[in-house]
């Protein structure tokens, strides 16, 4: 899925934070719902302007952002934290 077709950032909408195209639904709000365990169907029910593909685009966006921006975890010494 190409999330770029569904997620936009416009300074005139929600202060330029990423939103789903044609809505004022923030990507961060959808991610928060997913992080709390909401199913895609539940999110779509709560935000009727969204489709299941919109929610999948948010997941793809987050995956790409994590791959691009997050540093690799530091290696831990064998047995550390046990």
Tell me what the mean pLDDT of segment 49-53 comes to: 98
18, 26 Cβ separation under 8 angstroms: yes
Give the pLDDT confidence of 56-70 residue by residue, as tens digits: 999 999 999 998 876
Q: To the nearest whole number, what is the mean pLDDT of the chain?
A: 90
* Partners of 20 in beta bridges: 7
The pLDDT of residue 79 is: 56
The domain ranges of the chain are 3-68
The pLDDT of residue 1 is: 78
Domain 3-68 sits in CATH 1.10.10.10: yes
Residue 7's φ and ψ, nearest 5 degrees, are: -115, 130
pLDDT greater than 60 at residue 8:
yes
DSSP per position, 16-55: G--EETTS--BHHHHHHHHHTT--HHHHHHH-TT--HHHH
% of the chain with per-residue pLDDT over 70: 88
Contacts of 65 (CB under 8 A, 6+ apart): none
């Amino acid at each position: 899925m190409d999330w770029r077709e569904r997620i936009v950032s416009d300074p005139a909408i929600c202060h330029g934070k990423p939103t789903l195209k044609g809505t004022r639904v923030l990507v961060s709000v959808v991610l928060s719902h997913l992080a709390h365990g909401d199913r895609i169907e539940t999110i779509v029910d709560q935000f009727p302007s969204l489709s299941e593909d919109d929610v999948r685009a948010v997941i793809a966006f987050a995956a790409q952002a994590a791959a691009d921006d997050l540093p690799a975890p530091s290696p831990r010494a064998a047995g550390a934290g046990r």
